[in-house]
Amino acid sequence: MKALDENSKSMLRMRMKDKKRIVVKIGSSSLHHMSTGELNLTKMERLVRELCELKNQGKDVILVSSGAIAVGRKTMNVPQRVGDTPVKQALAAIGQARLMMIYQRIFSEYNHVTAQILMTKHTIVDDVNRRNAHNTFTELLKMGVIPVVNENDTVAIHEVEDTIGDNDFLSAIVAYLVGADALILLSDIDGLYTDDPRENKDAGFIDIVEDIDDVEGYAKKSTGSGLGTGGMSAKLHAATVAVNSGCDMVIANARDVSVIHKIMEGRNYGTLFVAKKDDDFNIADYINATK
């Protein structure tokens, strides 16, 4: 991997200041209290405040939020990881409604309107569905709305069970659809390491990735949480979609969601994947190739 000098790194980071359309993804483990499984309402309020401040600066903002199944589990008192696919789909239906209700309430406190968009794999690989989804996002953003996106776990089995339905990957697909120039993945880790830092204390942190091929060997399929479904492998798939779409992507720790405005100010937080737009990149072909 080619080493960058500090000035070059700073210049790449400072580009974030000029981004106009930002997608932010937050996972289940970042939205819940791990000890109880209840939603962390304080963190949700801070997250919404960060997003509304970006919106107030004149930027387009889209939130991709996990958490529906976890909220449904807690509501119906179903033990963690218990239940076949129909149970998970039912829990998603219960949890999605409750999660969206909370988001709408908090966003309204800051005088912003939000809308729910639920997507499946077929939204993306089918040309007509993908065009319709693009048109919906476009009109919502023109109206000044902040879309909240999730997988449609209630009807799509593969979205519950298959890694292609991971919200890390979904957020990159959303960035592709809307022509976003920045994607922030909020995770339970500071960024990309040469190995899993929870297992290897000597793992080295990687602050900037210019060529994603250089770091593919560092992917980990495991996740540190019992609530989430994604690992570093899913995040590198997301990075592949993002950078080829011309979108800078940052993986950062969701421990403190104020990291969002710090990243957008060009400060050195998380791992930055530098965009290298490929005009020949086709999202449907990429998804089919990664089955």
Q: How far apart are CA 142 and CA 145, in angstroms?
A: 8
The DSSP symbol for 226 reads: S
Unique residue bearing structure tokens 């994604």: 230
Answer whether residue 161 shows pLDDT above 50: no
Spell out the CATH class of 6-289.
alpha beta
Of the two residues 213 and 219, the one the predictor is more confident about is 213
Answer whether residue 184 shows pLDDT above 90: yes
CA angle 281, 282, 284 (to 5 degrees): 155
Answer whether residue 248 shows pLDDT above 80: yes
The domain segmentation of the chain, as residue ranges, is 6-289
The DSSP symbol for 32 reads: B
Nearest alpha-carbon partner for 100 in 146, 137, 168: 146
Q: How far apart are CA 23 and CA 245, in angstroms?
A: 13
Angstrom distances, CA of residue 43 to CA of 48, 50, 146, 152, 228: 9, 11, 18, 24, 17
The DSSP symbol for 275 reads: P
Query: What SS3 state is found at 243?
Result: helix
Answer whether residue 107 shows pLDDT above 80: yes
What pLDDT is stored for residue 239 in this prediction? Answer: 96
Mean pLDDT of the chain: 89
What pLDDT is stored for residue 181 in this prediction? Answer: 96
Q: How far apart are CA 260 and CA 184, in angstroms?
A: 8
